Chain A
Amino acid sequence: MGNRNLTALGTIWIKECTRFLRIWIQTLVPPAITMSLYFVIFGSLIGSRIGQMDGFSYMEFIVPGLIMMSVITNSYANVSSSFFSAKFQRNIEELLVAPVPSWIIVLGFVGGGVARAILIGIIVTLVSLFFVDIQIHNFAVIIVTLILTSSLFATAGLINAVYAKTFDDISMVPTFVLTPLTYLGGVFYSLSLLPEFWQMVSKANPIVYMVNGFRYGFLGISDVNYLVSLGLLVGFNLVMFTIAYQLINRGVGIRS
């Protein structure tokens, strides 16, 4: 019993990884290029004029945030497009006819998104090494934040794909929700630069906690307590996973 589920989970996961590796030009290269541009323009060119941020060079300050930004974008994009295309080409039926429990389906797709996010996190980190020496304050916090953030957005991408009826429907949330929240999520600035009112508003943005938790792992500084960040991540993950599980189990958008 346990073995069957494990084999199924492994199969979905390998299939998901094979997918994004097969189309690496669409999945792995763009974030590497975008992030290099951010490093050159914001880090080196403009960063040298900005000076220090919370006691670190501007480049050092933005690297963790930029890694987090690509992790968020890519985990979401991976699962939303993979699951939507499985619905669209109807190969999701391969899973529906087989004795695969719904929670394994969710875990498999989310696992694929996490794998892509981690790989991209590594690529972006390697690129950043050309521009700055990276220091590590607490490796465990880095890894845990990375995994929980990517699994959260991978699950959100899955939920998006369940409801999506057209390809446009899976680009709406990234464009109108994720991008603004990420740019306003403390990737490029310390919240302490903001007037008090906007600091308060920013703290309602969940991405602030992820970016700061991640930055804490690297630099040991944060606008919020990193334990709060981790707690929120665990909570959000549980909620999103439950929603995704319910949707798949009820067959929303996939079973008539």
Chain B
Amino acid sequence: MKALDISGLTKTYKGGTQALKGIDLHVNEGDFFALLGPNGAGKSTTIGVISSLVNKSSGTVNVFGHSVDDDLVAAKSCIGLVPQEFNFNQFETLHQIVVNQAGYYGVPRNIAKKRAEKYLKQLDLWEKRNEPARELSGGMKRRLMIARALMHEPKMLILDEPTAGVDIEIRRSMWTFLKEINQQGITIILTTHYLEEAEMLCRNIAIIDKGIIVENTSMKALLSKLNMETFVLDLPVQSKQPSLTGFVFRNIDDHTLEVDVEKDIGLNDVFRQLTEQGVTVLSMRNKANRLEELFVRMVESGRKKQAGAA
């Protein structure tokens, strides 16, 4: 059974913005899954639909086999949500916030209090338990939302940009914590626009852009793809197709050769081998790589966001 199974999901907001244009997403039980994409790609909308904060326009969503249309209570009970924006009552104490959240899921108060101690301690917030949430630092507020999401002991934790605006040290300790609970069997889905974060944590990844999933693969496969550049070489018309050892290449027609080259290897060997075969290279261009372009844009939008915040 899949932890999450989404097909044909669309969402058009009231103003007419089409935030999701038919996405499919499958996450295995126990996975650590990243949903990566630039600002405005539709990450939060996707998570909103999964967690009942946003009404979908069409499509199906199943959480551990429970459809959000027919079996919403069971689906909700499987999910712990850490949203992108702080959404607790700033005037309540940490302890009240987490204990109440457990209560909403039907956890009796005496058990909720024990869990509150466990999770507030694990997230290094126990000392602050009687303080109103507004007095916490940004990193602590983020951790409070993680503790809150774990109070009903969900099978799946969904985090929407959990480390945005969190300093590097706390970010690393959060990563360690998330890895630990994933090893204990909790499926984790997180959205981010840092490739580095996904790379550190996740086994599988989907990339979303403008409401469309443009890639859904393992982290390993993605990284090797990103590391590969494709060149198109224009040659005089060849009677015999040239060949390259140690490279993936394609003879497109009798005067065009395509070759994939890892970035750190370089092109010298390609030219050496072609020269040996007596092949002249008339001209060469870089083949546009959609993924790569997407990442350039993501990095740029990330930078703009950080510059805006500073």
A residues apposed to B, CB below 8 Å:
3-5, 7-8, 10-12, 14-15, 18-19, 22, 85-86, 89-91, 93-100, 251, 255-256
Contact = CB atoms under 8 A, between A and B. Distances in A.
Given A8-B103, A98-B76, A255-B53, 14 more contacts: A5-B106, A11-B104, A11-B109, A15-B100, A89-B90, A90-B86, A91-B88, A96-B53, A97-B52, A99-B73, A99-B106, A251-B55, A256-B53, A256-B54
A98 B89 contact: no
B223 to A, nearest CB: 33
Nearest to B105: A98
B79 interface: yes
A226 B52 CA distance: 45
B106 A95 contact: no
Interface of B: 13-14, 48, 51-55, 72-73, 76-77, 79, 81, 83, 85-92, 96, 100-101, 103-109, 148, 152
A89 B14 contact: no
B107 A7 contact: yes
Nearest to B79: A97
Given A91-B87, A93-B83, A97-B81, A256 B13 contact: yes
21 contacts: A3-B106, A4-B105, A7-B103, A7-B107, A7-B108, A8-B103, A8-B104, A15-B100, A19-B91, A85-B89, A89-B90, A91-B87, A91-B88, A94-B87, A94-B101, A96-B52, A96-B53, A99-B72, A99-B77, A99-B104, A255-B52
Most chain-B Cβ atoms within 10 A of its Cβ — which of A3, A11, A18, A85? A11
A12 B96 CA distance: 11
B106 A97 contact: no
Most chain-A Cβ atoms within 10 A of its Cβ — which of B14, B51, B77, B87? B87
Contacts of B88: 89, 91, 94
Contact of B14 (A91, A93, A256): A256
A19 B52 CA distance: 26
A157 to B, nearest CB: 18
B91 A22 contact: yes
B55 A255 contact: yes
Most chain-A Cβ atoms within 10 A of its Cβ — which of B14, B103, B152? B103
Most chain-B Cβ atoms within 10 A of its Cβ — which of A22, A86, A97? A97
A100 B52 CA distance: 12
Contacts of B104: 8, 11-12, 94-95, 98-100
A256 B89 CA distance: 20
Contact of B89 (A3, A11, A86): A86
Contacts of A97: 51-53, 76, 79, 81
A35 B55 CA distance: 46
Contact of A18 (B48, B72, B96): B96
A255 B51 CA distance: 11
Nearest to B149: A97
A256 B101 contact: no
A10 B105 contact: no
A235 to B, nearest CB: 31
A1 B86 CA distance: 30
A18 B96 CA distance: 10
Nearest to B14: A256
A14 B148 CA distance: 18
Contacts of B148: 94
A217 B49 CA distance: 51
B74 to A, nearest CB: 8
